[in-house]
């Protein structure tokens, strides 16, 4: 079953933890494959994020241009489909991948990706994988790697998928074919029309171009366009960029940022909602600071200031860096826990509660997350999410607005949390958020308990699957 294939080799029964990089590089080892393998080892063995460790390894191995692009594709593509790739390996090897050395499994997964999902010739994919196995694990495993990958090369991806899905039910087959664990497919099916399920899952496999945000009061979309960006997307502050955003001076000095259009829209909806005209705004779960900076710019336009709260020291520093270009009087960053308020109740007119969540709405950007998460994680998170939403409401003045936000489409983390809190508190009412975002159509969550809540989707809106519900304290 796909559920058991997740990128954390250190948890495998009988497996060994991934070897710590770096090891001496042998002359025959291709630096592109070596960089990709080292990144994959950190993802599967140490819980690293591909979007962070990938660029780091690429820089460490001095890759540029086409080599850097290939390494990025090998890392992200393998992480995205690793559960299905392990099933292919097991079918070809006729043994459970948990019986193999974790480093061998990583080498094989990289090889499978090259064979079934790229135009790399089979002989090159196999020979470079054998060299990689020899260098990283030892001569003893080269025969196994060569034999398994030769069997894999005898079928294309469609043929392998047909083989793997012969004797499974339709939902399991869809999970295998779209590179998702079964439980995520079930969660999507719970909130989407049947004809949108497969398009939504496949949209998670298409990496988006970098999305930029022009921070109000600091820059404009026209300025980004003048630098070569393209003004497109649902947010009025949004532009897309081809290449490294760090090449732009406006990104380096903090006048603009990298932020998904969905994240921009939820902050914009909070700013547009009717609330008491004067007073401070609160960003309850601020790290790493992208929404905080946008919210600060929007608050400055109406003469308000923002208090940004983050419990982690490292992430609080990231928030401070994200808002550094704004005037100091317009935003205050404090290190505190939103479940233990460091402020008096009723202190704020608007509160953004972008709560910790499973992150299953951002699978386009974090391809390994689908295999790392587990249904029990969601159960643990919903208690925290409910607590934070209660605290956000308590922080409001009467008439104030809280935006409950998650980067997840799962009902348990979205409508269920909001409906529970609304049912238990007589002092709050739902404010239709859909009316405040005319930029997006067909964005209602569809749950009658929380009328007017917004659920964005990659396949519909070109954004991450962000959820937004607005609540007013009566």
Active-site amino acid positions: 407
The DSSP 8-state label assigned to residue 405 in this structure reads E
Instruction: Please measure the distance between the N-terminal and C-terminal CA atoms of the chain and give it in whole angstroms.
Output: 49
What gap in Å lies between CA 444 and CA 441, rounded to an integer? 8
- Furthest C-alpha separation in the chain: 71
Task: Give CA–CA dist 422/472, Å, rounded.
Answer: 10
| Structure-block tokens of residue 101 | 């050395």
Place of tokens 């060299």: 131
Beta bridge mates, 282: 307, 351
Strands 211-214 and 238-240, how do they pair? antiparallel
Q: In whole angstroms, how far apart are CA 473 and each of 29, 345, 392, 423, 426?
A: 62, 12, 10, 14, 9
Buried (b) or exposed (e) across 285-299, using 16+ Cβ within 10 A?
bbbbbbbbbbbbbbb
**SS3 annotation, 321-349:** HHCCCCCHHHEEEECCCCCCCCCCCCCEE
Q: What is the dihedral of CA 266, 267, 272, 275, to 10 degrees?
A: 110
Number of H helices, E strands in the chain: 19, 11
* Burial class for 74, CB neighbours closer than 10 Å (0-12, 13-18, 19+): buried
Whether the CB-CB separation of 36 and 118 falls below 8 Å is answered with no
């Amino acid at each position: 079953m796909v559920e058991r294939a997740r990128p954390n080799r250190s948890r495998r029964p009988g497996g060994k933890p991934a070897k710590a990089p770096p090891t001496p590089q042998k002359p025959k080892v291709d630096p592109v494959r070596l960089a990709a393998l080292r990144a994959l080892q950190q993802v599967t063995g140490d819980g690293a994020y591909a979007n962070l460790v990938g660029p780091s390894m690429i820089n460490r191995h001095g890759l540029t241009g086409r080599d850097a692009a290939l390494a990025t594709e090998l890392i992200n593509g393998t992480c995205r489909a690793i559960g299905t790739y392990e099933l292919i390996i097991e079918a070809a090897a006729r043994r459970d991948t948990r019986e193999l050395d974790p480093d061998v499994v990583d080498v094989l997964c990289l090889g499978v990706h090259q064979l079934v999902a790229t135009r790399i010739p089979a002989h090159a994919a196999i020979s470079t994988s054998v060299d990689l196995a020899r260098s990283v694990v030892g001569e003893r495993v080269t025969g196994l790697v060569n034999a398994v990958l030769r069997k894999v090369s005898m079928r294309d991806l469609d043929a392998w998928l047909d083989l793997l899905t012969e004797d499974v039910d339709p939902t399991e087959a869809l999970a295998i074919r779209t590179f998702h664990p079964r439980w995520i497919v079930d969660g999507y099916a719970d909130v989407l029309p049947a004809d949108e399920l497969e398009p939504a899952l496949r949209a998670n496999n298409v990496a988006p171009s970098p999305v930029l945000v022009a921070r109000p009061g600091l820059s404009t979309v026209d300025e980004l366009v003048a630098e070569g960006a393209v003004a497109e997307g649902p947010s009025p502050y949004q532009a897309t960029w081809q290449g490294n955003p760090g090449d732009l001076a406006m990104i380096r000095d903090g006048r603009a940022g990298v932020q998904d259009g969905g994240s921009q829209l939820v902050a914009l909806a909070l700013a547009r909602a009717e609330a008491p005209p004067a007073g401070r705004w609160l960003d309850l779960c601020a790290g790493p600071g992208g929404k905080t900076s946008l919210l600060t710019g929007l608050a400055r336009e109406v003469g308000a200031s923002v208090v940004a709260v983050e419990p982690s020291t490292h992430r609080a520093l990231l928030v401070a860096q994200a808002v550094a270009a704004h005037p100091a009087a317009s935003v205050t960053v404090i290190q505190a826990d939103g479940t233990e308020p460091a402020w008096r109740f009723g202190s704020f007119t608007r509160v953004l509660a972008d709560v910790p969540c499973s992150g299953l709405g951002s699978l386009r950007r974090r391809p390994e997350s689908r295999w790392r998460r587990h249904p029990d994680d969601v159960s643990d998170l919903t208690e925290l999410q409910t607590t934070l939403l209660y605290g956000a409401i308590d922080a409001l003045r009467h008439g104030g607005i809280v935006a409950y936000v998650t980067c997840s489409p799962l009902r348990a983390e979205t409508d269920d949390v909001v409906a529970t809190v609304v049912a238990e508190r007589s002092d709050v009412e739902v404010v239709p958020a859909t009316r405040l975002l005319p930029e997006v159509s067909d964005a209602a969550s569809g749950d009658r308990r929380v009328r007017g809540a917004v659920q964005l989707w990659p396949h519909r809106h070109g954004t991450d699957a962000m959820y937004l519900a607005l609540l007013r304290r009566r």
